[in-house]
Amino acid sequence: MSKKEIKKKEKGEKEPKKHNYLLWIASIVILVPVLFLAYIILDTSGKTGEPVVGNRFDNALNPAITQEQISTIQTNIQIEGAVKTEVLLKSATLRVYVQLPDQTGRDAIDAAAEKAFQEVVNQLPIETYFTNGEDGKKMYDLEVHVYNFTPGSAEADWNIYITKSKNAAAKESIVDVLTSPKNQDIANSLLNPETVEQGEPASAEGN
């Protein structure tokens, strides 16, 4: 074969293709997040309308307060003259509501709150049910509400609403009078701002 034929043959052969590795790498970098996003969209759309189920009281509230215990407390709370007594368990808080007749005095209301509170802890000991464990275990809160008026009725000077409560994180129970301000000066400034002289702040003494 002559040199001319060899040269023609070499010219007629195609040179091998060179792979563009940068293009492949760029394609993969773009494709991965696109596929990931598509997966999230498909997975989310498939669960549309389904509730997110969970329990924030996992590993807590042990022992649990039973409906039978609540019924027993409801039966045993006997407050003389009470218009209505109700025991409810909601969101890890046991609440006792006692409505007394209109214009019942403060002493009688305090006595009713103490009696209802003691009836609860007789059935459900504070250290067991209303105190957080040393290992971080969360337990129930307790609230006893006693008042001498019908909720929603017009406010009167004799309205009294007190609570005796025991937070699971606290060591002792506390009593609050919701119808009496802790600081009368601040209460007056909020309820009757026109009576407070401009530029004269209300006293914070007693907070």
Overall CATH class of domain 67-184: alpha beta
Structural domain spans, the chain: 67-184
Which tens digits make up the pLDDT trace of 16-46? 555 577 888 888 888 888 888 888 888 777 6
Tell me: the pLDDT tens digits for 67-118?
A: 999 999 999 999 999 999 999 999 999 999 999 999 999 999 999 999 999 9
pLDDT in tens, 125-168: 999 999 999 888 999 999 999 999 998 888 899 999 999 999 99
pTM: 0.65
Q: In terms of C-beta density within 10 A (0-12 exposed, 13-18 middle, 19 or more buried), how is residue 35 classed?
A: exposed
Write the single-letter amino acid at 46: G
Q: What angle separates helix 106-123 from helix 67-76, to the nearest 10 degrees?
A: 140
- Evaluate whether 123 touches 76 at the Cβ level (below 8 Å): yes
Strand order in the sheet with 161-166: 84-90, 93-99, 141-147, 161-166, 174-177
